[in-house]
DNA sequence: GACGCGTGGCC
DNA sequence: TGGCCAAGCGT
């Protein structure tokens, strides 16, 4: 049987039951593909279901407030994706009469839709012969064709796509595209390729030349650096002091957090907290002992967060405010601060 | 083309 | 634990 025939057959009997496969529409495809960018399936599944409940169609998403869409994205990371999705929905309503386009150029004109997502929507939702090359498929194809180009480079991905396109079966573009993704996710794994379970192992050039373990080629990732994040824990009655990150911050714009800043690992948290509170405009800052600690990671940074209890005199200056505990909206708080709040809660 | 952008899980 | 990874995109 042909390569494509075996892949599609394998997919038919091995495909996972995932919510976006149950109701395959351009909208569900779009939302799920954006959520799945750099994000694992297990994390996405519950968030996808909740998001679809909250924004069941493109009109509801287009008319939603940005902060509500971002809140629905809470914990998924890469929040630009949420803002792009909402802007994209508005663009679809305004420019395409509310119908998600199937044309590649039209799709690429939507914010957050790049080569992968455009191909995914075209193939999965419209059955067009556009194999979607994500990390999984790049790995599968690099091994299948024994291509030793850097799969992180656009040129390599283009070449792999051109090698795959001739295999797209007539009337089976969606199954072919998704089968490649699924094979990469379930069988042709980065570390342990389960070639014994692979339907195309005997056609795989990497397998035939003993290079499965060394393909695909990719640039080594950058090293992560340790960071100390010192946070102020200021309570007043049943309220806690929070600041809102600037709307134009590149990292987590608009999110609420405990006042503080990142710094080198050697800094003294109480000193940093004092400095931060004084810079906010508070007088008579007193710091006490650390009350919560958490570990977090943001691309290339390993963060050790320490919350230091402090007292201040005077009203909250602009940009920060005392929020009643029962009104702290965890969906609008950074994950780092959420971890600190939870850690404190757990130890009380 | 390199870098910034989040997070959770796994070993 | 730290490194590595996961259905990328925008600049």
* Tens-digit pLDDT profile for residues A122-162: 999 999 999 999 999 999 999 999 999 999 888 999 999 99
pLDDT at residue A319, as a whole number: 85
**Which architecture characterizes domain A3-214 according to CATH?**
Orthogonal Bundle (1.10)
Decide if A104 contacts A161 (C-beta within 8 A): no
* pTM of structure: 0.95
Q: What would the two tokens of residue A338 be?
A: 């959420």
Residue nearest to nucleotide B5 (CA to C1'): A78
Q: Rounded CA gap, A157 and A162, in Å?
A: 9
Between CA A313 and C1' C6 the distance (Å) reads 46
Q: Is the CB of A328 under 7 A from strand B?
A: no
Q: Rounded CA gap, A34 and A26, in Å?
A: 12
**pLDDT tens digits along A164-186:** 999 999 999 999 999 999 999 99
**pLDDT tens digits along A265-321:** 999 999 999 999 999 999 899 999 999 999 999 989 999 999 999 999 988 888 899
Q: Is the pLDDT of residue A347 over 90?
A: no
Which residue intervals of chain A are DSSP H helices? 3-14, 19-22, 26-35, 41-54, 58-62, 66-72, 80-96, 104-108, 115-120, 126, 135-144, 154-164, 173-186, 205-208, 269-280, 335-347
Q: Rounded CA gap, A159 and A147, in Å?
A: 9
- CA-wise closest residue to A83 among A281, A252, A315: A252
At the fourth CATH level, the homologous superfamily of domain A225-347 is Nucleoside Triphosphate Pyrophosphohydrolase (3.90.79.10)
The domains spanning A3-214 and A225-347 adopt the same CATH topology: no
Q: Which nt is closest to the CA of A220, judged by C1'? A: C4
Q: Is the CB of A220 under 7 A from strand B?
A: no
Q: Rounded CA gap, A196 and A187, in Å?
A: 9
pLDDT at residue A348, as a whole number: 61
**Peptide bond before A216: cis, by omega within 30 degrees of 0?**
yes
Between CA A314 and C1' C6 the distance (Å) reads 47
Q: Is the CB of A47 under 7 A from strand B?
A: no
Q: Which nt is closest to the CA of A16, judged by C1'? A: C7
Strand pairing partners for A333? Answer: A256
Strand pairing partners for A297? Answer: A302
Between CA A144 and C1' C7 the distance (Å) reads 19
Count the Cβ atoms, other than its own, within 10 Å of residue A225. Answer: 11
Q: What would the two tokens of residue A26 be?
A: 């351009």
Mean pLDDT of A326-346: 92
Concerning whether A104 is annotated as a catalytic residue, the answer is no
List chain A domain ranges: 3-214, 225-347
List all nucleotides in chain C with at least one atom under 7 A from a protein Cβ.
1-10
Instruction: Please give the order of strands across the beta sheet that includes A225-233.
Output: A260-263, A225-233, A301-313, A283-298
Between CA A22 and C1' B5 the distance (Å) reads 31
- Sequence-distant (6+) residues with CB within 8 A of A109 are A91
């Amino acid at each position: 049987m042909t390569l494509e025939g075996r892949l599609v057959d394998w997919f038919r009997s091995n495909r996972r039951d995932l919510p976006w496969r149950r109701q395959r529409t351009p909208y569900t495809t779009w939302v799920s593909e954006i959520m799945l960018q750099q994000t694992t399936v297990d994390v996405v599944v519950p968030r996808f279901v909740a998001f679809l409940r909250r924004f069941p169609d493109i009109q509801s998403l287009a008319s939603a407030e940005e902060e509500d869409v971002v809140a629905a994205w809470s914990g998924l990371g890469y929040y630009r994706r949420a803002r792009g999705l909402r802007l994209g929905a508005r663009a679809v309503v305004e420019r395409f009469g509310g119908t998600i386009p199937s044309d590649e150029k039209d799709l690429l004109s939507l914010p957050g839709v790049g080569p992968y997502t455009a191909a995914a929507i075209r193939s999965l939702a419209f059955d067009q012969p556009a194999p979607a090359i994500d990390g999984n498929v790049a790995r599968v194809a690099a091994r299948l064709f024994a291509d030793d180009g850097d799969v992180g480079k656009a040129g390599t991905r283009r070449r792999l796509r051109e090698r795959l396109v001739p295999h797209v079966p007539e009337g089976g573009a969606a199954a072919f595209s998704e089968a490649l993704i699924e094979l990469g996710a379930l069988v042709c794994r980065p570390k342990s390729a389960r070639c014994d379970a692979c339907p195309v192992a005997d056609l795989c050039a990497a397998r035939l030349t003993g290079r499965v373990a060394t393909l695909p080629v990719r640039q080594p990732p950058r090293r992560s650096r340790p960071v100390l994040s010192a946070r102020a824990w200021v309570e007043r009655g049943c309220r806690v002091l929070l600041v809102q990150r600037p709307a134009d911050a590149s990292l987590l714009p608009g999110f609420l957090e405990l006042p503080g800043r990142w710094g080198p690992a050697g800094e003294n948290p109480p000193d940093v907290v004092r400095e931060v509170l004084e810079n906010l405009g508070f007088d008579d800052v007193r710091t006490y002992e650390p009350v919560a600690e958490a570990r977090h990671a943001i691309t290339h940074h390993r963060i050790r967060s320490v919350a230091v209890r402090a007292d201040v005199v005077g009203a909250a200056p602009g940009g920060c405010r005392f929020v009643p505990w029962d009104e702290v909206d965890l969906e609008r708080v950074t994950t780092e601060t959420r971890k600190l709040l939870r850690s404190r809660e757990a130890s009380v």
